[in-house]
A = this chain, B = another copy of it.
Amino acid sequence: MPGADGADRLGTDYGPLAAALADRDAVGVVAVGDRFDDDLRYLTRFSGPDRDYAFVAGAVAGSDDPHTALCAPALFDEQARREFPGDEVRTDRQGDPAGVRAAAALADAGHDSGTVLVPQGIPHDAAVYLEDAGYEVTSTDAVARARETKTDAELDRLRRVQRAAIRGIRRAETVLAEATVDADADEVRWNGGVLSTERLRRQVNEVLAAHGVRDAGNTVVGAGATAADLHYTGTDVIRPGETVLLDVSPRGPDGYYGDVTRTFAVDPDGGWERRAYLAVEAAREAALEAVAAGVPASTVHEEAAAELAAHGFRVDSDEVGFTHSTGHGVGVSLHEGPSLTADEPLEAGNVLTVEPGVYDPAEGGVRLEDLVVVAEDGFEFLGEYPFSLVPRERV
């Protein structure tokens, strides 16, 4: 059955594409991009090369199921056949631009004109090739929408990568628990040297690699002022007492991301960081309590913001206090729908981060983040890990 999960292969439900084709009276859905295009990854499950290839779902007269094709580079033929859950891998017209190859696949499916639906970010040249071939190109959010609801097989992938991400956090917490304070130099030391954010990051990334996922450039480690910088991936010395924020979001072999954040302090003095931690803990609790199918997504954010405001933190600034949204969807993109600032109701199968935080460039940053799947009557964690401001050895 086209699109279904195989023994080793992740399937894709092409039903939403069929619905969009019928709804818009279109002849096909076309996506073009390279290995870094997440719509294409979702539609094809093919982790192809760093040059453009194409996916085509062509409407079939008298059938509800479109005919799905992957126009793959010839050198990746075998891999494409192994990974693509759709109907056909095409390697004809090598050397032609992906947009031209997509038009040829549509023509072979019996469509030489009509409306073609494309994701908004399709490369301009591909859109122009389709127009030149006689199709009317119009954008669709059907792919982005389809991605928002996860299948059991996708949840399985998300759980696996989240487990690896948590192992990374565990390693970092253990390193911080083992670390000592050099009060004279105002530095945290570990294993014979000064502990920097980059040293700690490499400890995390080694664990990710050992568990078969990759850091994807997303292992955020900040300390003090750089913990207030939401996505710090640079080198900074870790000072005693200041907040150390770790946001670990690796990508697994099927393209799904994990995402977990914990914040620690080595020898905290009980000032700002303690107040911030308590506030974020309470906000996390309030936000999680709001998560359930049917609840407007923005409610989750509002609950977290109300709790942080009640604890005396600003929620209206870009620089101090709660400066971001409470979370985002996670899938083959690290950030995807649903948005927790939108009023649309959450649906069972949505996978969300819940990640309240407060920041002050003069003090540091505190964020706690977990990944959950929305259920009819609440949610389920895709991985659990304890939290405390003072790091403990966890083995």
Please list the residues of chain A having a beta carbon within 8 angstroms of any beta carbon in chain B.
35-37, 47, 49-52, 74-79, 82, 118, 120-127, 137, 139, 198, 202, 205-206, 208-212, 214-217, 229-234, 251, 253, 318, 323-324, 333-335
Q: Is the pair A79, B214 in contact by a Cβ cutoff of 8 Å?
A: no
Q: Is the pair B214, A217 in contact by a Cβ cutoff of 8 Å?
A: yes
Q: Is the pair B253, A233 in contact by a Cβ cutoff of 8 Å?
A: yes
A214 and B198 CA atoms in complex are apart in Å by: 13
Q: Which residue of B lies closest to A127 (CB)?
A: B124
- Looking at chain A's contact residues, the main secondary structure is loop
A209 and B218 CA atoms in complex are apart in Å by: 13
Q: Is the pair A231, B120 in contact by a Cβ cutoff of 8 Å?
A: no
Q: Which residue of B lies closest to A33 (CB)?
A: B121
Q: Is the pair B210, A51 in contact by a Cβ cutoff of 8 Å?
A: no
Q: Is the pair A233, B124 in contact by a Cβ cutoff of 8 Å?
A: no
21 A-B residue pairings within 8 Å (CB atoms): A47-B217, A50-B333, A51-B335, A74-B318, A75-B318, A75-B323, A75-B324, A79-B232, A82-B234, A120-B123, A120-B124, A121-B124, A122-B124, A124-B137, A124-B139, A198-B212, A205-B214, A206-B206, A214-B214, A214-B216, A214-B217
A126 and B212 CA atoms in complex are apart in Å by: 36
New A-B contacts (4) at CB < 8 Å, excluding given A75-B230, A123-B124: A76-B231, A77-B318, A205-B209, A214-B215
Chain B residues, Cβ within 8 Å of A51:
335
Query: Contacts A123-B122, A123-B123; is A202 near B198 (CB within 8 Å)?
Result: no
Q: Which residue of B lies closest to A216 (CB)?
A: B214
Nearest CB of B to A78, in Å: 5
